[in-house]
Amino acid sequence: MSLDPLFDFTGKVVLVTGGSRGLGHEMVKAFAARGAHLVIASRKLDNCEKAAAQVRALGGRALAVSAHVGKWPECDALIESAYDEFGRVDILVNNAGMSPASRSHEMPESLFDSVLNLNFKGPFRLATQIGHRMSCAGGGCIINVSSTGALMALPQAVAYGAAKAALNAMTVSLSREYAPKVRVNAISAGPFLTDIAKSWDPAALERMPLPLGRAGNPPEIVTAALMLASPASSFTTGALLRVDGGQR
């Protein structure tokens, strides 16, 4: 394809967690189509390998890594695998997450820990360790995939909303800590029709209380990620970009 110079990622190394499906997979395909090499991480290696094969078919290099990014030792192993393969990471997309529904007073500690670990603890480890390396190497870009659940009432998913609110705060603070060499931004995603939507009430999908009147289609996340990652967005850091159909 003919590449727009504003969105040319030729030779860039992009690490995407949760990159084998959903919004992460859409971002993987978009970066690969624009010349990037990809590190694709999720818990299921087979799914990562399938996504990696798509990247290679587009002419890029790809590394598939099985990693539970809610666990710091696995985050560290993922980082080492990426640097061993490519020598650097130019763009980190912290996309992996989980949002199980649970009545707050019934939520077991183990589930609470899992939600906080995957949505905040792991992204913190990856962003800080890779962000430091980026800063020492001259620059880079980090994109944290957050949620409108951090900005509005989210009954029965309180821990998830709190974790994403922490992710938002982390984004702003790290954008200052690693400035001026590393830009750190967040995408605040609304409801998207990924695999998780299969469990949603069909009637609720028909009456989405959004100005656009519907949930998002996964490819609609792509332009936000490309814009924040583009070197042309060199004056954008510490931003929270809402991609939520106008949800308030």
Would you please indicate which residues are annotated as catalytic (active-site) residues? Answer: 160
Question: Sign of the C-alpha dihedral, residues 55, 72, 193, 187?
Answer: negative
Residues contacting residue 99 through CB under 8 Å, at least 6 positions apart? 115, 147, 149, 157, 160, 196
**What is the C-alpha separation between 40 and 56, in angstroms, rounded?**
12
Structure tokens at 210: 């959004």
Contact 197, 221 (CB under 8 A): no
Residues contacting residue 204 through CB under 8 Å, at least 6 positions apart? none
**What is the C-alpha separation between 97 and 2, in angstroms, rounded?**
33
